[in-house]
Amino acid sequence: MSDVVLSDVHLRLDRPDRGERLARVVEGLGGGDRLFVVGDLCDFWFTSRQRNVNPLRCAGLAALIRFRERGGVLRILLGNHDAWMGPLYARWFGVEIDAQPLRVESHGLQLELAHGHLFKEKPKWKSWMEGRVFLESFARLPEPCARALERLLDATNERTRAAAELRMIAAYRARAQSMPDPPDLLIYGHVHRVADEPGPPRLVVLGDWIEGTRYLRIEQTGALHVDEGL
């Protein structure tokens, strides 16, 4: 039996490769395995503009539904991109959304799981963009306008990404160092780059699925970070 932990898949119908790669990983899991999704399973584009579609249209979501049907354990945390998707996830997969940080045990290791976006204050404009008012307004935009705004936001994020990710990892590290009773592993998402610091406690940043197929596999032999590429 294995536990698999992943985050930041950013599923959306117009980026089908992400769902296909997730399906490949999930279909390799057995009914006795556990899968932890640590936030941002779906992208903001899906959350805003595609959330009312049949989930079976997305290979990754369909694979998660089949995983649950064959007895697999699915635990889901919400991230900044899919913060409003909890009721849909609960209905699609028949699961309750976990509060975070989530403490669990895996093969003798104590874990803390969190998306991580709540560990550091963010600019007010970003908080506003993640709210329901912006989400619903973005859903009503004509397609060309929505695409143009997305490109603008992507360009803005790309210019500041490296510095922002270093600040987030520093916040994760500070949290690790301040814990009076730390677990064996802190496993966080949100940051799109991979990091693995031995600690103690060991700090694992899972990385995104935009640039690779990345997850942590935990078995009796330990916790191994896997990157299968695109």
Cis peptide before 87 (omega within 30 of 0): no
* Structural domain includes residue 109: yes
Give the whole-angstrom CA distance, residue 169 versus residue 64.
29
Does 150 map to a domain? no
Please report the pLDDT score of residue 31 as a whole number. 85
User: Does residue 138 lie within any of the structural domains?
Assistant: no
| Assigned domain for 151 exists | no
Helix (H, G, I), strand (E, B) or coil at 104: strand
Give the model's pLDDT for residue 127. Answer: 84
| Structural Rg of the chain based on CA atoms | 17
Q: Which positions ≥6 away from 116 have C-beta within 8 Å?
A: 39, 168, 171, 172, 188, 189, 190, 191, 205
Q: What's the total number of domains in the chain?
A: 1
pLDDT computed for residue 120 by the predictor: 86
Residue 136 located in a structural domain: no
Per-position pLDDT tens, the chain of length 230: 899 999 999 999 999 999 999 999 999 999 889 999 999 999 999 999 999 999 999 999 999 999 999 999 999 999 999 999 999 999 999 999 999 999 999 999 999 999 999 998 877 878 888 889 999 999 999 999 999 999 998 998 899 999 999 999 999 999 999 999 999 999 999 999 999 999 899 999 999 999 899 999 999 999 999 999 88
pTM of model > 0.85: yes
Is 7:219 a contact under the CB 8 Å cutoff?
no
Interacting residues of 68 by C-beta distance below 8 A, sequence separation 6+: 74, 93, 94, 95
- 140 found inside a domain: no
What crossing angle do the helices spanning 16-27 and 59-69 adopt, rounded to 10°?
20
Residue 88 structural domain:
3-121+156-227
Q: Is residue 218 part of a domain?
A: yes
- Is 147 domain-assigned? no
CATH code of 191's domain: 3.60.21.10
- State residue 28's pLDDT score: 95
